[in-house]
Amino acid sequence: MDLKSLKLELLERISLLEDEVRLLALKRLLDAPRGYGIPNDHLTVVKEGEEPYLKLEDRNYSAEEVRQIVEDILQARRNENAFASSLSPEEWGALDREGEEAERGQGTFHTVEEVMAHLRKDLEK
């Protein structure tokens, strides 16, 4: 399988994922500073429905509103860190090994049809 076909297959498989935990784990893996991570500033995908910056100059904010904005941002960061700590060292190690195998073109790969059949089987349980 050539590199372009592999990328297309992976993109298709990712687009079919509905499991938020797996998607967040994949995002964490891609954001990792291990040499195979991809920094967000290199991405060209537009995030729909999100403004890149708060436009504070549009109006005046009370001290309580500013405190709430800051608290919301801090809470979002704590939530991100909580997810990262929810994986055990063994799970992080497995993700690292899978990433290294994927870089070498090794590992087990499944077609979209196989993944969908497996998901259907899991949903029936």
pLDDT top residue among 15 and 82: 15
pLDDT tops 60 at residue 57? yes
DSSP structural state of residue 60:
-
pTM: 0.28
Nearest to 87 by CA among 31, 13, 24, 19: 24
pLDDT at residue 52 tops 60: no
Q: For residue range 92-104, what is the model confidence (pLDDT) as tens digits?
A: 888 888 888 878 8
Q: What is the pLDDT of residue 28?
A: 78
Cα radius of gyration (the chain): 19
What does the block give as tokens for 35?
């040499």
